[in-house]
A and B are shown apart, each in its own frame.
Chain A
Amino acid sequence: QKEVEQNSGPLSVPEGAIASLNCTYSDRGSQSFFWYRQYSGKSPELIMFIYSNGDKEDGRFTAQLNKASQYVSLLIRDSQPSDSATYLCAVNDRYNQGGKLIFGQGTELSVKP
């Protein structure tokens, strides 16, 4: 079992719809969770982080964390074609929160006009 798992996609949604991206992780001790957006040929850009169970909202983005289910998700409301990218889920090393991040393979999102 991979440490961080994401559906590779592609996930296709129409413009204006809600895109839902999901991630599961294997280490119950993980404390910090991150979502990065990566455009083709570019480096990852941090868009959300969440440390506590529940929802965290920032503009059109909402991160949801359920530590009991070892599940973290990212919702993108009013999806735009410019949101088309690969979204990477990452979790920290439970023994050193300031240390390495463990990434999933990413989910490719395509927003159709």
Chain B
Amino acid sequence: DTGVSQDPRHKITKRGQNVTFRCDPISEHNRLYWYRQTLGQGPEFLTYFQNEAQLEKSRLLSDRFSAERPKGSFSTLEIQRTEQGDSAMYLCASARGGAYEQYFGPGTRLTVT
């Protein structure tokens, strides 16, 4: 299996701009997760999908964040009107049906200036 892939790997944007990240899960993994990680902390859950259904969204996620997985394959995470506090590593993970182990992609490092 090829692993989880994420694009872009790095993104620098100015405050107030919108950004979109893409995640391609391991093939045949039907669950897909988004996490955010800041320096010195463990990953923090944002949202997850089973197939195309978004099953849970963190209460910490503001309305500026939205995620989609329209055909149950790749997913996108959009951040509108970025703020400096959004600077972090955005991680995508996937898991196959019937298993609990999650496998992470390389992440997208976002810097908001």
A94 vs chain B, min Cβ distance (A): 12
Complex formed: what's the CA distance from A105 to B31 in Å? Answer: 24
Identify A101's interface contact among B40, B45, B105, CB under 8 A. B45
Q: Which residue from A32, A36, A46, A99 sits with its C-beta under 8 Å from B56?
A: A99
- Please report the C-alpha to C-alpha distance between residue A100 and residue B59 in the assembled complex, in whole angstroms: 13
Q: How far is the CA of A46 from the CA of B107 in the complex (A)?
A: 15
A34 near B43 with CB under 8 A, answer: no
Q: Looking across the interface, which residue of chain B has its beta carbon closest to that of A4? A: B42
Q: Which of A44, A98, A99, A105 has the most CB of B within 10 A?
A: A98
| Across-interface contacts of B31 in A (CB, < 8 A) | 98
Q: Is the interface of A mostly helix, strand, loop or mixed?
A: strand
Q: Does A90 contact B (CB under 8 A)?
A: yes
A43 to B105, CA, bound (A): 7
B41 contacts A105, C-beta separation under 8 Å: yes
Shortest Cβ distance from B40 into A: residue: A105
A49 interfacial contact with B, CB 8 Å: yes
Q: B91–A43 contact, CB under 8 A?
A: yes
Report the Cα distance A97→B95, complex, angstroms: 12
- Assess whether B33 is in contact with A100, with CB atoms less than 8 Å apart: yes
Q: Mark B53-81, 1 if CB is under 8 A from A, else 0.
A: 00110100000000000000000000000
A38-65 interface mask toward B, CB cutoff 8 Å, 1 = contact, 0 = none? Answer: 0000111110010100000000000000
Question: Of A46, A49, A98, A100, which is within 8 A of B45 by CB?
Answer: A100
Q: Give the residues from 16 to 46 in chain A that come closer than 8 angstroms, CB to CB, to chain B.
A: 32, 34, 36, 42-46
Partner of B103, one of A46, A98, A99: A46
Question: Contacts of A102 on B, CB cut-off 8 Å?
Answer: 45
With the chains together, A104 CA to B44 CA distance in Å?
Answer: 10
Q: State the B residues within 8 Å of A (CB).
A: 31, 33, 40-45, 48, 50, 55-56, 58, 89, 91, 95, 100-107
Additional 15 contacts, C-beta under 8 A, given A43-B107, A49-B101, A100-B48? A32-B100, A43-B91, A43-B104, A44-B43, A44-B104, A46-B101, A46-B103, A46-B104, A96-B56, A100-B45, A100-B58, A103-B42, A103-B43, A105-B41, A106-B40
